[in-house]
Chains A and B, each alone.
Chain A
Amino acid sequence: MTTTAVHTAPADDAVLNRATLDAWIDRITPPEDERIDETIPWRTSFHQGMAAAAAARKPLLLWVMNGHPLGCT
């Protein structure tokens, strides 16, 4: 089995408080260019998409994954 190198220091020493909260949120939240899919005006289900496509007389572009693509995949 291959073992991927990962730094293993636990987070026990990490300081999370009033002064550091914003920095931690920024560090954990992906930059906008990595979650640019969130800028698309998605319908969040197949049936909503079909209904909207029919109403707009447009084709539907459906993205499906194991785990909702806009949630946890």
Chain B
Amino acid sequence: MAGRRSVWGDERVRELAQQFVCAADETWRLQNGKDAECRFFQKIASQGHYQAKGGTRQGYYAIAPNGTLLASANSRSGEAILAMMKRALVAWDALDATRHVLPADTPFEPEHRWEASYPTGGLVFMRYVRDILGSDRRWNRDYAWFTRDEVKELTSLPPRPGATRDWPQRLAARLARFHLVDNVRGQTLPFAAGEIERADLRFTVVRATDDAIDLELTGKTHAVAKGPWLLGKTDWTPTEDFPRTMTTTIFGRARFNRRSQRFVTFSFAALGTRTGRTGNDGRNKESPEPTAMGFAFSLARGDVTLAPTFLEFYPDKWVKRPHDLGYGEHK
């Protein structure tokens, strides 16, 4: 996470990046998956800075469109990534121009990606999370998705001040299970449905016109994981029990355009108290005492279609899963 700023905060990196097409992706699937996209990546990355069989392939790779690896590195240093990019451009210039294009017979299309479930016309949040006490400035981000039909459910309330609409329990619980989680310092685990002891969210109409409804969101959530993993065998299944809790209070405001049936503004915060930890959340060296966390949700940019980390656990039929498309689980 620290590399976000240390690398991309370097103006020289951002400037030189204009000579590349920039892409970002999740490496676990790419380095372990079996579809054409994954195999194409594996062939390239196995020539890079990490070559140990079964080891991570995290980092930066400069690649010609025909699959030639130009240079690679994994570093939080802007200087190191800049040097790698310069090496890559030298190698690029030395390549025969035929290598600047993707050969027509090169398969690299994925069989399944979670982005295929992107809820066009729905509600997409960017979510930031951080500790709100103490001096640690780390933070993390993720996305939360609601479909157009779910937006319709959420906003089915009379357009008069004071009218209220309790969120359907399954949508409130989904927020608590997958988005009000402690991944400030790294990846964590979701909560199971049975671990949500409270998820009460309510819209209240503040103002209404022919064009728009202004809403306030209030709510409280409480999740308690006693330890054992309850979500079956997945790539996330931990090897030990992780008891933990998350309790939050929520407030927010939104403007819903009645004509377009879209939210034009929507931001809310959740202030929470967490206890416990998971295997990769970076809390293993901390006091086990409760600590305070804050979550900030706002509308994501329309061009960001990145899937929520725990989309595969959303209990909804609109999520397109690999077996829905006739493929195995190639994560």
Contacts of B139 in A (CB 8 A): 28, 30, 34
Given A21-B253, A66-B56, check contact A61 B23 (CB 8 Å).
yes
Chain B residue numbers with a CB within 8 Å of A62 are 23-25, 60-63
Q: What is the CB-to-nearest-CB distance from A68 to chain B, in angstroms, rounded to a whole number?
A: 4
Q: Contacts A36-B5, A64-B25: A7 and B252 contacting too (C-beta < 8 A)?
A: no
How far is the CB of A25 from the nearest CB of chain B, in Å? Answer: 5
Q: Is the CB of B88 within 8 A of A59?
A: yes
Q: Which of B25, B92, B252 contacts A21 (CB 8 A)?
A: B252
Give B114 Cβ to nearest chain A Cβ, in Å: 10
**B142 surroundings in chain A (CB, below 8 A):** 71-72
**Number of interface residues, chain B, beta carbon within 8 A:** 94
Contact yes or no, A72 B141, CB < 8 A = yes
At the interface, yes or no: B309 with Cβ under 8 Å from chain A?
A: yes
CB-based contact A44/B23 at 8 Å: yes
Which residues of chain B are near A29, meaning CB under 8 Å? 128, 296, 298
Let me know if A73 and B187 touch, CB within 8 A: yes
- Flag if B285 contacts A1 (CB, 8 Å): yes
Is there contact, CB below 8 Å, between A18 and B216?
A: yes
A7 to B: closest C-beta gap in Å: 4
Q: Which residues of B contact A5 (CB under 8 A)?
A: 134, 287
Are B285 and A43 in contact (CB-based, < 8 A)?
no
Task: Check A37 against B4 for contact (C-beta < 8 Å).
Answer: yes
**Residue pair B58, A54 in contact (C-beta under 8 Å):** no
Contact assessment for A10 and B290 in the assembled complex, using a CB-CB cutoff below 8 Å: yes
Give the residues in chain B near A9, CB-CB below 8 Å. 133, 292
B221 beta carbon closer than 8 Å to chain A: no
Which of B146-154, B194-202, B264-272, B319-327 is the contact stretch? B264-272
A-side interface residues, number (CB < 8 Å) = 62
In the complex, what residues of A have CB within 8 A of residue B292's CB? 7, 9-11, 14
Whether B109 lies near A47 (C-beta < 8 A) is yes
For the complex, what is the distance from the CA of A52 to the CA of B22, rounded to whole Å? 9
The 0/1 profile, CB within 8 Å of B marked 1, for residues 50-71 of chain A is: 1111101111111111111111
When distances are taken between beta carbons in the complex, the residues of chain B under 8 Å from A72 are 140-142, 183, 187, 309
Q: Is B173 an interface residue (CB 8 A)?
A: no
Taking the closest CB of chain A, its distance from the CB of B1, in whole angstroms, is: 6
Q: Which chain B positions have C-beta within 8 A of A37?
A: 4-5, 7-8
What's the least CB distance linking B187 to chain A, in Å? 5
Q: Could you tell me if A27 and B132 are in contact, using CB atoms closer than 8 angstroms?
A: yes
Residue pair B130, A28 in contact (C-beta under 8 Å): yes
Q: Does B136 contact A (CB under 8 A)?
A: yes
Q: Contacts A40-B14, A44-B304, A67-B26; is A8 near B102 (CB within 8 Å)?
A: no
Partner of B58, one of A8, A43, A60, A65: A65
Give A contacts to B, CB under 8 Å: 1-12, 14, 16-18, 21, 24-25, 27-30, 33-37, 39-54, 56-73
24 A-B pairs whose Cβ atoms sit less than 8 Å apart in the complex: A2-B285, A6-B286, A25-B298, A27-B132, A29-B298, A30-B128, A36-B4, A44-B24, A45-B23, A47-B37, A50-B65, A54-B102, A59-B65, A59-B89, A59-B92, A60-B21, A61-B61, A61-B85, A67-B309, A68-B309, A70-B306, A71-B26, A72-B141, A73-B140
6 A-B pairs with the lowest CB-CB distances in the bound complex, closest first: A49-B23, A11-B292, A61-B20, A10-B273, A54-B65, A54-B102
